[in-house]
Structure 1
Amino acid sequence: MKRHEFLRELHKATANRNYLEIGVNDGRSLALSRVPSVAIDPAFKVVTEIKCDVHLVKATSDDFFARENPLVHLRGGRHPVRNLRRGRSPIGYWRRTSLDLSFIDGMHLMEFALRDFINVEKHSDWSSVIVFDDMLPRSIDEAARDRHTDAWTGDVYKLVEILNRYRPELVTVLVDTQPTGQLVVFGADHTSTVLQDKYDEIMTEFKVPDPQKVPEAILERVKAVKPETLVGADFWGPLVRARNRGLSRSRGWEPLRSALEGLSASR
C-alpha cells in the first residue's frame, strides 16, 4: 500500500473531525481531507483540488505554533464557553482544541520532526493519531542529513528510538508503506514536557554528521506492520466512540494500549 492510500484509509478509520498537516508540498495528501483542516508549509505549491475547509499557512511550523491560538480555524476552536452549572455564574473560560489526526511530513531532519511532534502533542489527546512520513529509509544514502539523492527521507527515522526511549508510555507503530514507510503514534499527552525538557540532551546524542548509522531493523523493516493490518484492526471503532464521548484518559487509553500492544506482538 502506498503512503497516500494508507493516509486515505486512516481518515476513514479515525473518523477524524479535524486534521493538521505539516508539509503540504503539492497538496496530494491535503486533498484527502474532508474535515476542517490546518496545513502548514513555508513554500507550498498546491496543484491538486482541495475539498475541505482549510487554513493554508505559508510559514514554518515553528513560527506557526508560536502564534497565539494557532488552531482557532478548526471546528470548536479555542473559544469562550459558558459555565452553566447550577449555582455558578456564567463565567467564560477557554476550551482547548484537540487534534484528531495529524500528519507530519515537514523538513526531513530529526530536530525539525521532533519539534513538530512536541508542538502537535500540545494540541493532542490520548485518542489523537499522529503520523510521521518517511520513517523507513531504504539505504544509508537516502537517510543522509545532506541530501544527495532524488528520493530522500533524511534522518527522521531517529524519532522511533527517541520516542521509545524518552516517552515509553506512548505506543509507536511502524508501518510498511511504500515507498519509505510511516510511523503512527498513539497515546499523546498534552501535559508532557519531557521531550522539550530533554531537547538539548537529545540533540547532543542524535544530531550527528553523515554518514548516518541507520539500524538494520529500520533498513530491513523488521518491526513494521502491514498497513492493511493496522487500518483493519478492531480497535478503531471503540477509539472513535470513546473519543466522541469525551472519555478521560483513565477510561479510554488502557483498552487501546492493550489492543495496540497485541498488534505489535503479532509482527
Structure 2
Amino acid sequence: MQLLHTKPAPGEDCFARVGGVNYLEILKAIHRNLRPATYLEVGTFTGNTLRLSHCPTIAVDPEFRITGGLPAECQVLHLFQKTSDAFFKDHDPTAIFGAPIDLAFLDGMHRFEFLLRDLIHTEAHCRPNSVVVLHDCLPGDAHITARSMNDPRRAQSRNPDFWAGDVWKLLPILRRYRPDIRALATDAAPTGLVFLTNLNPASTVLQQHYFDIVAEWLAVDLADYGVARLIDEAEPVAARQLVSPEFCANRFWL
C-alpha cells in the first residue's frame, strides 16, 4: 500500500498529514460509486451525512438536530432518537430493511468502547462484502483525542474546535483481534476515515474479548502511543482516490 507521508521531525505535529478531501465529499462519492441498497448511520446530528443517502436508511442519534432538510432521494427513512446501545437492543436492522446492511457510517459517541460496541452490533447485520465506515480514527494530533470533549488539552491543538475522542484505538484493536477484516484508512479531512470490509457477521471474537479489550486500552493515551506510529501503522491512502469509481471497484463490491 502506498505511504502518503514521511516521518515527522521530533515534536512535529502530524495534523498536516491528515487533511485531504473533506470526509463529506468522500462519503458522497462512496454513496455514488457503491450504490448501496441499504444504509445505516449512527450519529446523525445535523444531518449532513444523512442527506447523502439515496436508499432505504436507518439513522440513530440520541438527540437529532437535523437542519437543511431530509435526504431528497431517500424514499424510506427510519429515525430512531435513542442511543445506539438502546437501538440495537430494541430493534433488528435486518428485519427493518428486509435485507442486510450494505453501507454503514459509525460516528456516534467518540469513545472507543462505544464505537467497538457499534461495530460489533453493525457487523452482525452485514454481509461479508458490506462496507462499514468509521469516522475520527486517524486524528492528526493527540490534543483532540481526550475522552472528554471538555478536556482543556484541546486548547493546545492547532484545531481546538475538533474533538475526535479516543476512537483511534479501533485501528490497533482490529489489527490484533480481527486481522481478517480488510481496513482501508484515508487522510480525509479533518480526522480521517476508515473503511472496513471482508466482514464476518457470525464472528463473536470482539464480543468475547470486549471486556479484556476495554481494560487493556482504556488508559492508553495517543500522546504515549504516538500519532506518527498510528499513522504509519494505518498506511493511509489519499482520500481523493476514493472519489474514483475505478478505485472503489477494485476494493469494494456490493
Q: TM-score range by the shorter chain?
A: 0.7 to 0.9
Q: Distance in 1 between matches of 2:112 and 2:27?
A: 22
Kindly name which structure, 1 or 2, has the bigger radius of gyration based on alpha carbons.
1
Compared CA separation, residues 200 and 231, structure 1 to 2 (3 A)? same
Per the TM alignment, residue 195 of structure 1 is displaced from its structure 2 partner at its CA by: 0.1
Compared CA separation, residues 221 and 192, structure 1 to 2 (3 A)? closer
Q: Which moved more, 1:120-129 or 1:205-214?
A: 205-214
**Aligned mate of 1:205, from 196, 202, 216:** 216
Per the TM alignment, residue 37 of structure 1 is displaced from its structure 2 partner at its CA by: 0.1
Per the TM alignment, residue 177 of structure 1 is displaced from its structure 2 partner at its CA by: 0.4
Q: Give the corresponding residue for 1:228.
A: 240
CA distances 1:116-174 after superposition (whole Å, capped 9, x unpaired)? 00000000111100000111112111011122332100110110011111011111111
CA RMSD of aligned residues (A): 2.0
Q: Give the corresponding residue for 2:179.
A: 168
Q: Give the corresponding residue for 1:60.
A: 83
Q: Distance in 1 between matches of 2:92 and 2:59?
A: 15
Are the aligned partners of 1:174 and 1:183 in contact in 2 as well (CA < 8 Å)? yes
Gap runs ≥5 in structure 2: 1-20, 155-160
Identity of aligned residues (%): 35
Amino acid at match of 2:235: K
Q: Give the corresponding residue for 1:8.
A: 28
Compared CA separation, residues 202 and 9, structure 1 to 2 (3 A)? same
Indicate the SS of the match to 2:36. coil
Indicate the SS of the match to 1:38. strand
Are the aligned partners of 2:112 and 2:168 in contact in 1 as well (CA < 8 Å)? yes
Compared CA separation, residues 173 and 211, structure 1 to 2 (3 A)? closer
Matches within 5 A, 1:174-185: 174-185=185-196
Compared CA separation, residues 238 and 180, structure 1 to 2 (3 A)? closer
Per the TM alignment, residue 234 of structure 1 is displaced from its structure 2 partner at its CA by: 4.5
Are the aligned partners of 2:46 and 2:64 in contact in 1 as well (CA < 8 Å)? yes
TM-score normalised over the length of structure 2: 0.81
Per the TM alignment, residue 73 of structure 1 is displaced from its structure 2 partner at its CA by: 3.3
Q: Which runs of 4+ in 1 moved over 6 A?
A: none
Q: Which moved more, 1:217-226 or 1:131-140?
A: 217-226
Q: Give the corresponding residue for 2:204.
A: 193
Asked which structure has the greater RCO (Cα within 8 Å, sep 6+), the reply is 2
Amino acid at match of 1:113: L
Q: Give the corresponding residue for 1:128.
A: 130
1:152 aligns with 2:141: no
Per the TM alignment, residue 40 of structure 1 is displaced from its structure 2 partner at its CA by: 0.1
Amino acid at match of 1:177: A
Q: Give the corresponding residue for 2:103.
A: 101
**Aligned mate of 2:143, from 141, 144, 153:** 141
Indicate the SS of the match to 2:65. coil
Q: Distance in 2 between matches of 1:188 and 1:139?
A: 30
Q: Distance in 2 between matches of 1:110 and 1:138?
A: 17
Q: Give the corresponding residue for 1:259.
A: none
Per the TM alignment, residue 230 of structure 1 is displaced from its structure 2 partner at its CA by: 3.5
1:31 aligns with 2:65: no
Q: Distance in 1 between matches of 2:248 and 2:221?
A: 40
Give the length in aligned residue pairs: 220
TM-score normalised over the length of structure 1: 0.77
Higher helix share: 2
Per the TM alignment, residue 221 of structure 1 is displaced from its structure 2 partner at its CA by: 8.5
